[in-house]
Amino acid sequence: MWQYPSEMEAMEDALRLARGMTYKYAAAGVNLGGGKTVIVGDPYRKDREPVFRVLGKFINRLGGKYITGEDVGTTLKDMEYIRMETPYVVTLPTYLGGAGDIAPMTAFGTIQAMRACAKEIFGTDSMEGRSVSVQGLGAVGYNVVKQLSELKARMIVTDINAERVKRVVEEFNVRAVPPEDIYSMGVEIYSPCALGATINDDSLKKLKCKIICGCANNQLKEERHGEQVQKMGILYAPDYVTNAGGTIFDTDRLGVGGVNHERGKEKVARIYQTMEQTIQISKQEKIPTYLAADRLAEERIRKVAEVKKYGGELDPMF
């Protein structure tokens, strides 16, 4: 849910996000397809029930072809409103049979990818003493800072919301900078955790990092920026690999008897290996990592398509 400048920009974002979800599930080895809904509206709107119940009615008409969940600008309470109209929603509080808040697991997955990148660049996956700039302190960004703090990383943070910045600075004793300054910080790792398209012509002129690894969707404004990052000697962790943790954890209960925290977290931890595979493909084929991740996802899509030729559907999370 976001205040898009135009309907066309909302449509473009929905299409980009849907593609990202398709590749995210494929790369993560999850037997789900990919789709996305966006709502053109104020994410801070108070009167939310009518909006989300109408959306729930629409989703219900699709008969299970599309299952929705929480994302930027929405909350668990919003998902409850959707659940009043349709069973096809996964991000739910525990008292409704869901996994509860998935932001910590999204952050956990992002940090697994970050550790794999650190091992490639620095020879160790320890985050202790690593300098990281975190852009965006929403539900997931906050948890990225919290978990990196526990791992003893050194951080610089920013957000357009002053209250979020104040909370994180006071709680974790990190340094804050204005949003426009975050790109030029001399850090080892830049972690974009806000909206997409932050890796663009302007930001690439300022970045001084060795690794880009964050939880935001659609971080590359255009695919050519992935090529440019590679030429600059920066290791880019493809966003749909890094931010898959929440949805892996969230959908783990489908078809396997409900929520199991340990099983779900173990699956999220595999993002480390997925990132290692992506790096390996990139090195072997001499292609940018964003393209290597696409190859990984597309190969699985191709293989599963072959399986489906023999009839039947795959269990969502066997």
Catalytic choice (24, 36, 210, 267): 36
Is residue 77 part of the annotated active site? The answer reads no
As separate numbers, helices (DSSP H) first and strands (DSSP E) second, the chain gives 13, 6
Distant-in-sequence contacts of 65-68, Cβ < 8 A, 24+ apart: 66/35, 66/37, 67/32, 67/251, 68/37
**In this structure, what token pair is assigned to residue 150?**
């526990």
Phi, psi (degrees; rounded to nearest 5) at 89: -145, 135
Gap between the Cα atoms of 279 and 74, Å rounded: 33
Q: Do 212 and 199 form a contact (C-beta atoms < 8 A)?
A: yes
Distant-in-sequence contacts of 124-131, Cβ < 8 A, 24+ apart: 125/272, 126/151, 127/151, 127/152, 127/153, 128/152, 128/153, 129/153, 129/154, 130/154, 130/188, 130/189, 131/155, 131/156, 131/186, 131/187, 131/188, 131/189
Query: Cα 153 vs. chain centroid, distance in angstroms?
Result: 21
Q: Known catalytic residues?
A: 36
